[in-house]
Structure 1
């Protein structure tokens, strides 16, 4: 443990931490006492017990550790909660009108934010320990720490009706990271829910994934369906995907609090030109090597080529453009059964009944996979 030779006053200490956080590129820094009661744990238990976590089994497996910050680390006393603004320059919903282009969620159009934030968190943690001493631990998204309730506790905003964090200064566009420490840091005032009667985020959801305000059924959420779900997406949701091929920004983008936020200034999080509005036809042609090259250092890479092309084929089917059958047809012979099944569904959306019947008959004669056959029948 590193000890400090001169201990600043509590107020000065928090100010110095905020100054260093800003120097490292964080847009906001706040503090919370992690030993207080944690009502968010009850909501999480209800979410898992209702099965609304879907295939995200790791949520159930780590439920006890997620129940309270001190369940992650009993010695923790305070949390330093950091945020990076990633508000896009343009309206992300405008891309939904270009049906032949793929809509990738704003957060996944640049470099992987986990890498960016983790490197800055570690730098801040080294500075913090060197300056003030005390043990600490760093967390960013992938660890079982409930960061949105923690950010609310630190006064960075509140969890809106879409269950995401809403900030008066940054709207719904904040990446979060946290440092737990044994230091006694003066906590900020807890955020106060300020959604009022607004339900724009609830009404914007294409699949009605919110059973009630402040509740999410992940099994209906397009972000879950296109990213976490490993098999075919249920047929009832496919038309609602539109051209969304990775994630969904609808509930975030319509939040009225966004009008107070400026566009994010972090260059590494800015959209890559190749990912702002890629053509579905080009994306459907990706093999594994091409997929890995296109999404190098990008969060899309983690779902793999087959799951991604599955999403692209659903989007192609939703265009209703028979000309785009040329992009679907090669995937009917794809090595992946998941891809072939999605291609079969897209063919049914793009071909006229007679042409579809002919293709269907030919494919059923050679298709052995039961799930793909089910798509044809």
Structure 2
């Protein structure tokens, strides 16, 4: 008798669920969806440990606190069998670096020019997860920066792209402009092929960094990164770095925008997040005038709102100081009386660059003795 045919029902079921997952991702407007195994990034623990040991995570203490879970998806959720990675194209219509020639404007990172992508992506991922769970009878969890997930290494393992020398994900189809999200499931799915590194000898992203935040290719020191300093960092920004900020008031796109692979980026679908017109080239003077209430209203639904008005105005004052334009001196003078010390300190720094030396010295003589905050006094001195 002939041998019985192998039972490939499990293979067919796995293939069917995989196709269903990717179909649902497309329905929700995701640009790309690929799948990998939870043990696909074995080098991640060692790399993460070295990054933290070197102190290159800056004040982001949560990275150290969640190190074990971040390094291995199975520590985060022991039952996970497949990791599904999603990418959403957010490529700008033009090179965002052109705004650096407009010192009277504030440069907000491309990703933050509309609704908070975390909310947008998580809503879409939940739609996919709900339908998939009902079809597969499996458990699912979705994450968009809501848990310690190493999205970029997992996305590379799944084949969405590779981590470039700027440490961000690069795609042959979408360049350096992909939002990432993940879905963990107990279902077994077909695995995609990892992407290989296509950076070659190119160093464009490294050379584009205004503050030299890359100690070596594929390494970043957050303590020198404008994105980290303007968004995550709550303290005083090092004086030697401030002039390099230019008019970048929330994040920095320079290393992303410099990537040659951007020229191959596909056109986005109609579901791509479109930038708010008033956040493309906002007037710096208007931004400096925002009090807490107007800041919250203007940036309602935007990720910018999360850093709070005081830190944001701190960033805008650095831009004013870098503008070389005395037209900002009056509003900087007003902000010297702000309730927040971090605002007063940067107002002093901005005026030190905008006013003639003798005028600033005279101003210091009248103001220094009434300032009690040590950091602000340091700015005067």
Pairing of 1:131-170 with structure 2 (within 5 A): 131-170=135-174
Match of 2:54 among 38, 42, 50: 50
Give the equivalent residue in structure 2 for 1:77: 81
User: Secondary structure at the residue paired with 1:26?
Assistant: coil
Q: Does 1:181 align with 2:179?
A: no
Question: Hey, what's the Cα distance between the residues in 1 that align with 2:142 and 2:149?
Answer: 10
Residue by residue over 1:37-60, the C-alpha shift from the partner in whole angstroms, topping out at 9 and shown as x without a partner, is 521221111000000000000001
Of 77, 93, 102, which aligns to 1:98?
A: 102
Is 2:13 the counterpart of 1:9?
A: yes
Is 1:127 the counterpart of 2:131? The answer is yes
| Cα deviation digits, residues 57-88 of structure 1 (max 9, x gap) | 00010001111111110111101111100001
Tell me the residue number matched to 2:235. 231
Q: Secondary structure of the equivalent of 1:333?
A: coil
2:287 aligned with 1:287: no
Structure 1 equivalent of residue 118 of structure 2: 114
- CA distance, structure 2, for counterparts of residue 229 and residue 111 of structure 1: 22
Q: Which residues of structure 1 form unaligned runs of 5+? A: 1-5
Q: 1:67 corresponds to which residue?
A: 71
Q: Which residue of 1 aligns with 2:43?
A: 39
Q: Is the 8 A contact 2:99 2:107 kept in 1?
A: yes
Deviates more, 1:124-133 or 1:359-368: 359-368
SS at match of 2:87: strand
Which sections of structure 2, spanning at least 5 residues, go unmatched?
1-9
Secondary structure at 2:18's aligned position in 1?
Answer: helix
Contact 1:112-1:269 within 8 A present in 2 as well: no
Q: Deviations over 1:210-251 (max 9, x none)?
A: 000000000000000101110121101100000000000000
* Structure 2 residue 355 is the aligned partner of structure 1 residue 351: yes
Q: 2:249·2:315 contact (CA, 8 Å) conserved in 1?
A: yes
SS of 2:84's partner is strand
Q: Is the deviation greater in 138-147 or in 199-208?
A: 138-147
Q: 3-state DSSP class of the match of 2:249?
A: strand
TM-score by length of 2: 0.95
Q: In structure 2, what is the equivalent of residue 214 of structure 1?
A: 218
2:90, 2:272 within 8 Å by CA — same for their partners in 1? no
Counterpart of 1:326 in 2: which secondary structure? helix
Question: Which residue, 280, 301, 305 being the options, matches 2:305?
Answer: 301
TM-superposed deviation, 1:188: 0.4
Distance 1:339 1:306 in 2: 6
CA distance in 1, matches of 2:272, 2:365: 49
Aligned-residue RMSD, C-alpha: 1.5
CA shift for structure 1 position 7: 9.0
TM-score, L = length of structure 1? 0.96
313, 325, 330: which one pairs with 2:329? Answer: 325
Question: Do structure 1's residue 273 and structure 2's residue 273 form an aligned pair?
Answer: no
Aligned match of 1:195: 199
Which secondary structure state, in structure 1, belongs to the residue aligned with residue 375 of structure 2?
helix
Q: CA deviation at 1:291?
A: 0.4
1:11, distance to aligned residue in structure 2 (A) = 2.6
Q: In 2 relative to 1, CA 244–266 (structure 1 residues): closer, same or farther, beyond 3 Å? A: farther
CA contact (8 A) 2:36 2:83 kept: yes
Q: Write the distance in 2 (CA, Å) between the matches of 1:202 and 1:304.
A: 30
Distance 2:316 2:289 in 1: 10
CA contact (8 A) 1:108 1:298 kept: yes
Identify the residue that residue 3 of structure 1 maps to in structure 2. Answer: none
Q: Specify the SS of the correspondent of 1:373.
A: helix
Q: How many residues end up aligned between the 2 structures?
A: 373
Runs of 4 or more above 4 Å deviation: none
Secondary structure of 2:205 counterpart: helix
